[in-house]
Amino acid sequence: MDKQQLMHHIFAANREMVDRGITFINEADQEEFVSYSQLYERSLCLLQDLRNYGVQAGHELLLQIQDNRLFLEVFWACILGRIIAVPVTVATNDETKLKACKVWDKLNTPHFIGSEATMDGLASFAEEHPECGPSVDVMKGRFIDTASLKGESSAVLIEAEPDDIAFIQFSSGSTGDPKGVVLTHSNVMANVSAMQKIWDLDAGGRVLSWMPLTHDMGLIAMHLLHAYTQSSQFIMRTKLFILNPLLWIEKANKHRVNMLYSPNFGYKYFLAFYDQEHDYGWDLSGLSCLCNGAEPISTEISERFMEQLAKYNLPQTAMRPAYGLAEGTVGVCFTRQNEPFKYVAVDRRFLRVGETIRLLQRGEPSSLLYVDVGGPIESCEVMIADEQGSPLPKSTVGYILIKGPSVTRGYYNEPEAAERLADEWLNTADIGFMLDGRLVVVGRAKDILFVNGQNVFSHDIERVAEEVDGVELWNVAACGTKGKLADTEEVCLFLLYRGKNLEPFCELASRVKQHIHRKMGIFIDHVIPVKSIPKTTSGKIQRYKLGEQYTSGQFDSLIRDMESIKSKQAAFENTEQLLLRLCQDLLGRELGIHDHFNESGGNSLILTQLSDELEKWHGCNVSVPDLYKYPTIAKLTAFIDRGGSLSLPSVSMDEAYFNKEGSQVVSAFEAELDSETCSVLQAMADDAKTDLKPVLLSGFLYLLKLASGEDTVHVQVAVEENQFRSLTIDFAAVDSLETLIELVAMKLEARHGDGDESDYTAKDLDRIQQSEELRILPLFVIHADAASSQGQWLEVFDLVIELAEYDEQVEVLCDFNSRKLKEHKIKELFTQYMLLLADIVENSDKVSV
């Protein structure tokens, strides 16, 4: 590998490989393996097709290809023919279409390859945006329809030079002025060689990524690096990950993958859908590297991902934070294999350029956590400098500068755009500091927002907002701020508004949110009216000032007033009207009451947002799984009108009770109380003027108090044939067994609504939410006719105690959820229950389980 100096040398080394290559994961049950040999041969054939269309060495080819396999085949055809590949996100909405036009205008002798539908979409876009018309007209004359590619004859490879441009990476996200990072063969080969060395990668690797191939992490860090190391690659469609993030780890388990690639968003998004109570049966013991980069890395998310997957044998040194950017090809700083995950806690008040950091303990007031991303790789040097480019001492905050063989020579056709200083240092416009020779990144100096795994520029959001009637040009500011909750970033949009009545502004804010989501696919957390937009003397918006005002709480009262207005408006809507409005806000279009959410663009992100909005404005607890269970407005309306999700209080139990190994064979026990024991217990019931069952329930409640260590204990009780009651006992108010029995009897006899207990029926069982981690939902059945299948009960309740009376004796049945709870621990608990009852009447020798 060390002798490879040009990108096509990678292919030359792999051209005979038929047992290794790329598995394209197109659907959950649809995979396609393409060997490196097949990819090489197919790319040479497509190179001939490109030449037949007039694409020559040195020409640029704008890639607008959705299919991952075809994308790589065409990309490598460019490399083999000295054609400059220009991969850009496929133009599917107005912003990406505008970006494609602006990128096109920066090229010299460009050609365009994509589907006919993509070209038609750009043509329609040009009709509505005449300024793009000339560019699109030229595109049409240089358009290559992917459907016309034959691949019937093979072309001859053209040898490149190390300083030849291999491809151009245009700035991620759509910008008003996208810049193309020039990457030469020597840039790429220096970077992949350095990454291979720092991670000591070999041909035995098996790697998986869901990142788009138009992103440098997906194309270079994943594909090119592991083509260089001759590893087996697994590339999942990005949309497939968004629809089902759990499939990502499912496929890693299935294919025995040892490396994953994802930005922080991916790990957080996975955790939002991961069920800790469910046993997925994974074995992640071979997963030694989780590359985490491309956006700010959360300490808490990284730790939570590692902790929650530890039960599947995920090595706790697997998380590999990294830092890079397109100007450095992709990789700049990496953490080495088997290093522990590291972070620093610093004082948030001392993070300006030129200030020395102040280290704190985690959790101290004013502390912020930042992840250690490792030291520089050998192809890139790193320096921390001030605004003038002068070096700063260690532990001092400053601009991150880079130079070396893998650093770009500049932006395509914009030689003055790169912020280069003396000695070829390039200013990344990122802020950070060095600590013990390792880099810690504080944030972006530029106004980039990170939304759902993608980079979004503030001025793009502002430009789209200005398209809405009522929004003044140049009087809009978008910025990202740290959210009220941990590990969250909120996107705020500030609009100049001179009116005093907030109701018209609330209507404008709603239209702006809908428009931005429809055009850009992102959600704005808050649209806030301001009396002025702060700007510099040169007219540049000072977004950071608005962000600081928001973080300090200066807009809290205003936001509450707007939420009050919105809440009052919602009060006049019935459930169906509310859902219709919310879905229109989130989807950017009207939805029929029988339209399926998923089929109407309601992906997991939107359903999560809908769940949050329903809780906020309707006061109804509707989980994301509920939205999959009731996937239309009509079905969801009926569910909400029944009360939505039903959250019942649960009981905390020691971790030793919980099963991490799946289902057991035994899931039920039974015991018998003889007539003598029952007679004594009945006498206690008579004294309390109740019957036997409240006495037995009292014993069970006391048992749970002992097992949980909590003074307040909750039990669900089947009190009638189809009637249930949530019963809560505060043992701080109980001074004797007699008092407990009397209190339980009173709560059971209370009419619905008289006490603090909540009643529900068998029809509500499907509404009950699952108990949290290390907590159980117990059911005590005291009514003989409360018949239900064990399966139905155990889908909801974790532990079921059922009583059956006959011949002056009582049979006690114990069923439990063996997927969640350990058999021997429940048997131990049940035995303690029987001994507890027997101990009351001093007949413990007559009890057996």
Instruction: Enumerate the CATH 3.30.300.30 domain ranges in the chain, comma separated.
Output: 448-566
Q: Which of 215-219, 660-664, 741-745 has the lowest mean pLDDT?
A: 660-664
Q: What is the pTM of this model?
A: 0.61
pLDDT band for 446, please (50, 70, 90 cuts).
low
Q: Say how far apart CA 734 and CA 392 lie, in whole Å.
A: 66
pLDDT for the residue 175: 39
User: Which tokens go with 456?
Assistant: 């979004």
How many CA atoms within 13 Å lie on the side-chain side of 9? 17
Instruction: Tell me the per-residue pLDDT of 418-429, one tens digit each, with 9 for 90 and over.
Output: 656 557 899 998
pLDDT for the residue 399: 94
Average pLDDT over residues 42-53: 97
H or E stretch at 778: strand 778-781
Instruction: Tell me the per-residue pLDDT of 460-490, one tens digit each, with 9 for 90 and over.
Output: 788 788 888 888 867 899 988 876 554 567 8
On whether the CB atoms of residues 396 and 357 are closer than 8 A, the answer is yes
Q: Say how far apart CA 285 and CA 302 lie, in whole Å.
A: 17
User: Which tokens go with 742?
Assistant: 């009397």
H or E stretch at 776: strand 775-776
User: Where are the alpha helices (H) located in 402-452, listed in sequence order?
Assistant: none
User: Which tokens go with 104?
Assistant: 């096109």
Residue predicted with more confidence, 30 or 752: 30
pLDDT for the residue 307: 96
Most trustworthy range by pLDDT among 200-204, 328-332, 448-452: 328-332
pLDDT band for 538, please (50, 70, 90 cuts).
very low
Q: Which fold has domain 573-634?
A: 1.10.1200
Distances (CA, A) of 220 to 71, 178, 228, 330, 331: 14, 20, 10, 7, 9
User: Which tokens go with 21?
Assistant: 């290559």
Sheet containing 438-444, strands listed edge to edge, beginning at the edge strand earlier in sequence: 381-385, 398-403, 426-435, 438-444
**DSSP letter for each residue of 288-314:** -EEEE-SSPPPHHHHHHHHHHTGGGT-
Distances (CA, A) of 550 to 51, 213, 530, 568: 56, 36, 11, 24
651-846: CATH class: alpha beta
Instruction: Tell me the per-residue pLDDT of 612-657, one tens digit each, with 9 for 90 and over.
Output: 777 766 667 777 777 777 788 888 877 777 777 788 899 999 989 9
How many CB atoms are located within 10 Å of the residue 770 CB? Answer: 18
Counting DSSP H helices and E strands in the chain, the numbers are: 26, 35
pLDDT band for 772, please (50, 70, 90 cuts).
confident
Is the pLDDT at 113 greater than 80? The verdict is yes
Distances (CA, A) of 767 to 648, 650, 652: 10, 15, 21
Instruction: Enumerate the CATH 3.40.50.12780 domain ranges in the chain, comma separated.
Output: 7-243, 254-409
Average pLDDT over residues 39-43: 97
Average pLDDT over residues 524-535: 89
pLDDT band for 342, please (50, 70, 90 cuts).
very high
pLDDT for the residue 171: 74
Write the CATH number of the domain with boundaries 448-566. Answer: 3.30.300.30
Average pLDDT over residues 105-109: 96
DSSP 8-state assignment for residue 157: P
On whether the CB atoms of residues 270 and 240 are closer than 8 A, the answer is no
Most trustworthy range by pLDDT among 44-58, 260-274, 667-681: 44-58
Distance of CA 707 to the CA centre of its chain: 36
Residue predicted with more confidence, 656 or 841: 656
DSSP 8-state assignment for residue 208: E
Q: Say how far apart CA 569 and CA 586 lie, in whole Å.
A: 18
Q: Across the chain, what does the average pLDDT equal?
A: 86
Average pLDDT over residues 112-137: 95
On whether the CB atoms of residues 215 and 294 are closer than 8 A, the answer is yes
Average pLDDT over residues 79-98: 92
Most trustworthy range by pLDDT among 302-306, 511-515, 536-540: 302-306
Write the CATH number of the domain with boundaries 254-409. Answer: 3.40.50.12780
User: Which tokens go with 346?
Assistant: 């610093």
Is the pLDDT at 27 greater than 80? The verdict is yes
Strands (E), 101-157: 110-114, 143-145
Residue predicted with more confidence, 226 or 264: 226
pLDDT band for 184, please (50, 70, 90 cuts).
very high
Average pLDDT over residues 105-122: 97
Q: Which residue has the tokens 């869901």?
A: 210
User: Which tokens go with 302?
Assistant: 């990284």
Output b/e per residue, 4-37; b: 16+ Cβ within 10 A: bebbbbbbebbbebeebbbbbbbeeeeeeebbbb
In sequence order, which residues have a C-beta less than 8 Å from that of residue 102 and are 6 or more positions away?
177, 178
Average pLDDT over residues 22-32: 96
pLDDT for the residue 232: 97
pLDDT for the residue 185: 97
Sheet containing 476-482, strands listed edge to edge, beginning at the edge strand earlier in sequence: 476-482, 489-496, 526-530
Is the pLDDT at 74 greater than 70? The verdict is yes
Q: Which fold has domain 7-243?
A: Rossmann fold (3.40.50)
Instruction: Tell me the per-residue pLDDT of 485-497, one tens digit each, with 9 for 90 and over.
Output: 545 678 999 999 9
Q: Say how far apart CA 356 and CA 370 lie, in whole Å.
A: 15
**DSSP letter for each residue of 554-577:** TTHHHHHHHHHHHHHHHHTS-HHH
Query: What is the DSSP pairing of strand 333-334 with strand 319-323?
Result: antiparallel
How many CB atoms are located within 10 Å of the residue 612 CB? Answer: 13
In sequence order, which residues have a C-beta less than 8 Å from that of residue 507 and are 6 or more positions away?
none
DSSP 8-state assignment for residue 751: P
In degrees rounded to 5, what are phi and psi of residue 212?
-65, 150
pLDDT for the residue 455: 46
Is the pLDDT at 174 greater than 50? The verdict is no
Q: Which residue has the tokens 């030449």?
A: 51
CA angle centred on 723, ends 647 and 830, rounded to 5°: 75
DSSP 8-state assignment for residue 387: T
Residue predicted with more confidence, 769 or 7: 7
Is residue 341 classed as helix, strand or coil in its secondary structure?
coil
Residue predicted with more confidence, 583 or 716: 716
Q: How many residues does the chain have?
A: 849
In degrees rounded to 5, what are phi and psi of residue 807?
50, 45
| R_g of the chain computed on alpha carbons | 32
DSSP 8-state assignment for residue 62: E
How many CB atoms are located within 10 Å of the residue 176 CB? Answer: 12
Distance of CA 78 to the CA centre of its chain: 34
